[in-house]
Amino acid sequence: MPPKSKKARTPEERSIDPAAQEILIWADEEGIESAFSRAEQMAPCPIGANGSCCKVCFMGPCRLTKDGQTGVCGATIETVTARNFARAVAAGSASHSDHGRDLAFTLLATAKGEAQGYQIRDPFKLKRLAEELGVPTEGRPIDEVGVDVAEKCISMFGQQTGELAFIERAPEKRKEIWRNLGIVPRGIDREVVDILHRTHMGDDQDPEHILDQAMRAGLSDGWGGSMVATAISDVLFGTPSPLVSKVNLGVLKDDEVNILVHGHEPTLSEMILAATSDPELLDYAEEKGAKGITLAGICCTSNETLVRQGVPSAGNFLHQELAIMTGAVDAMVVDVQCIMQALPNLAENFHTEVITTSPKVKITGATHIEFDEHYALDIAKEIVRKAIDRYPERGKTRIPDVSSDVVPGFSHEYINYMLGGSYRASFRPLNDAIMSGRIRGVVADVGCNNPRTTQDFSHDYLARELLKNDVLLVETGCGAIASGKYGYLLGEAAMEWAGPGLREVCEATGMPPVLHMGSCVDNTRILTVLTQVVEEGGLGEDIDEVPAVGIAPEWMSEKALAIASYAAASGAYVIMGINNPNDASEVVTDILSRGWEEKVGGKIEFVVEPEEMVERILDHIDKKREALGLPAYEPEKFGRSGDWRMEEIMDLTPEEREEALYGQPAGD
């Protein structure tokens, strides 16, 4: 039994999710530890937490804890903090981008007919991509086009000079800013390596200059590697459109084989999904006493299969251990990123087999079955068979009876279609709604869970407060799964939570007030939406003019800093929760905020309290509205549609009705 900490939190302090609370109470009784209890046992290292630990050479590590103190080499706190931040951005960008690289190789193998079980599911998107990348399409078989597109994408990683092709997607003004500052990414790998080089001992020691490169590496992720990942995932597995599914631990089934896919890449999980409906394997499951095979996900592998195939999600980042603790998971199949090393040890208390699959990821104690796209279906079948073999070994299960309905799958292509139909697909209605003030602004809530704070509390609080204030939410990653748990990803949520103007828009379009746009690499969809909003007209000429904010209130990953850097460099105001990893240096904190705002129009701020986040978000949105000359936000003007109002307006002329509803005669 782990030692009882004086700081042990109540289940409600650990998570607002009733499913998590139920399992954590059981785990405490049994003395089984989790990230929640480990976070209570181990305080964060104060030197590392505020960015003042320098480990880039072996004359140290140096701990810069006193005013004016420098490292052995003379490095100042500004340099040390900026280097730490930039290195985190490099690691985050590398992770996202390498995921994109793997997908490009899968497309190449698929198009060459060498990838077992895969096919090009969205040839239209492939064609659009080909045109964008200068690949001829006229009269060519789609597979041939696929080979060329894959090769073009692969070449972006090793590109040494010039500009990444997807930079062209950005608004003209934005590209100009990047070019003038010299931060247009030359190649995806190059910008990451550049950071590792310049932060080596004895290189770049000017904090502002180091942080400029953090923007460049971030941009190579957002407008490079992640964009490749999103585009090719759509080509191979289909571009998401809304569908119905469920979220939370209650999606596991007591009488079926439960397989969880966890991590980030959709490649193997899509094949496992196919294998779960293989008649032979279904018979085999029945032979072992199971009524069927249930596939569900955790983290972003879950988001990938949720938004495309409607595969239910068992939860977000902090649910990975809790899922195993239900005793009902026969196999947890992991690929890359956000996989806790605690899983195999934890699984020893149960019958669960933890299976690593990526050539890049082995975990001591886990079974390794290496993924190879050339034999993907065979490998997937082998994994499903292993899970079935575990089913008879199950002990007592405790699946919380907690799950929520969700409608995810809002790709930018679908949002376009949703707003105008195939006849007039357009962002015009969205721009109009923002311009009129029905929608006050847009917030992208992304990022993780972090056991240093109450799981999902900030995601939930911010969603509720922002919806009430007529702010449309777009979400990805673990933030989106959190919203799913609390009912925000449904059309009905507009009636319950949205302010009057936003509710009108949701009523007219049928969309939920919170749009689940995919996994963390799919934050690129948000960049695309913002660009299209700019191009549509009426909301400025660049992303920094749009009344929009990005938030990651419960972040924990280096990838979150990469996303924050590319979003800010793209013109967005980004607010991160938890803790300021640059707190040791006022200079670095100021460069990321005021300094970057002067340079690129976007900035990163770290705000611990969610109440303060709401204040800053609304203030920023209102200032951007004012700068655009838009009417100030006035909620009382809207929300007079709906049956309850019909009696009052039935006898009016159309003009009078318009005036009664919107405070102005028709045509104004």
Bridge partners of 405? 246
Q: Which C-beta is closer to ligand BF8: that of 47 or that of 361?
A: 361
The torsion angles phi and psi of 509, rounded to 5 degrees, stand at -100, -15
Q: Which of 478, 543, 591, 617 binds ligand BF8 (CB under 6 A)?
A: 478
- For residue 184, the minimal CB distance to ligand BF8 (Å) is 25
Contacts of the segment 495-499: beta carbons below 8 A, 24+ positions apart: 497/463, 497/464, 497/467, 497/468, 498/467, 498/468, 498/470, 499/440, 499/467, 499/468, 499/469, 499/470, 499/635, 499/638, 499/639
Helices (H), 35-159: 35-41, 46-49, 77-111, 123-132, 142-158
| Residues pairing with 294 in the sheet | 258
Residue 597 phi, psi dihedral angles, 5° rounding: -60, -40
3-state secondary structure (DSSP) of residue 121: coil
Question: Does residue 477 bind ligand BF8 (CB under 6 A)?
Answer: yes
CB burial of 132-158 (b: ≥16 within 10 Å; e: otherwise) equals ebebebeeeebeebbbbbbebbbebbe
**77, 231, 299, 473: which one binds ligand BF8 (CB under 6 A):** 299
Residue 449 and residue 15 in contact, taking contact as beta carbons nearer than 8 Å: no
- Can you tell me which of 100, 327, 441, 447 binds ligand BF8, judged by CB under 6 A? 447
CB of residue 300 to ligand BF8, shortest distance in Å: 3
Number of residues that bind ligand BF8 (CB under 6 A): 14
Work out the burial of residue 280: count CB atoms within 10 Å of its CB; fewer than 13 is exposed, 13-18 middle, 19 or more buried. Answer: exposed
Q: CA 617, CA 623: separation in Å to the nearest integer? A: 10
Whole-number minimum distance, CB 483 to ligand BF8, in Å? Answer: 12
Residue 97 interacts with ligand BF8 (CB under 6 A): yes or no: no
The CA distance from 373 to 600, in Å, is 41
From the CB of 559, what's the least distance to ligand BF8, in Å?
5
Closest distance of CB 234 from ligand BF8, Å: 17
Q: How far is the CB of 92 from ligand BF8 (least distance, A)?
A: 8
Residue from 268, 300, 328, 517 that binds ligand BF8 (CB under 6 A)? 300
Residue 225 interacting with ligand BF8 (CB under 6 A): no
End-to-end CA distance of the chain: 70
Minimum Å gap between C-beta 557 and ligand BF8 is 4
Q: Of residues 150-189, which lie at the interface with ligand BF8 (CB under 6 A)?
A: none
Closest by alpha carbon to 213, among 191, 193, 197?
191
Q: Which is nearer to ligand BF8, 336 or 498 (CB)?
A: 336
Give the nearer residue to ligand BF8 in terms of CB position, either 409 or 499.
409
At 156, phi and psi to the nearest 5?
Answer: -65, -25
Exposed, middle or buried, 61 (CB in 10 Å: 0-12/13-18/19+)? Answer: middle
8-state DSSP, 593: I
Q: Which of 167, 338, 506, 604 binds ligand BF8 (CB under 6 A)?
A: 338
The interface mask with ligand BF8, positions 309-328, x = CB under 6 A, is: -------xx-----------
240 contacts ligand BF8 (rule: CB under 6 A) = no
Q: Please, what is the minimum distance in Å from the beta carbon of residue 316 to ligand BF8?
A: 6
Enumerate the β-bridge partners of residue 54.
62
List b or e across 13-32, with b for residues whose CB sees 16 or more CB atoms inside 10 angstroms: ebbbbbbbbbbbebbbeeeb
Q: State which residue, 263 or 344, has the beta carbon closest to ligand BF8.
A: 263
Least Å distance between CB 242 and ligand BF8? 21
Site map for ligand BF8, 395-434, x if CB under 6 A? ----------------------------------------
Query: Binding string to ligand BF8 for residues 493 to 522, with x set by CB under 6 A, is what?
Result: --------------------------xx--
Task: Choose, by CB under 6 A, the member of 23, 334, 448, 494 that binds ligand BF8.
Answer: 448
Whole-number minimum distance, CB 665 to ligand BF8, in Å? 47
* Least distance between ligand BF8 and beta carbon 266 (Å): 12
Amino acid (1-letter code) at residue 160: Q
Which one of 50, 159, 326, 557 is in contact with ligand BF8 (CB under 6 A)? 557
Report yes or no: 85 and 582 within 8 Å, Cβ to Cβ.
Answer: yes
- Footprint on this chain of ligand BF8 (rule: CB under 6 A): 264, 299-300, 316-317, 338, 447-448, 477-478, 519-520, 557, 559
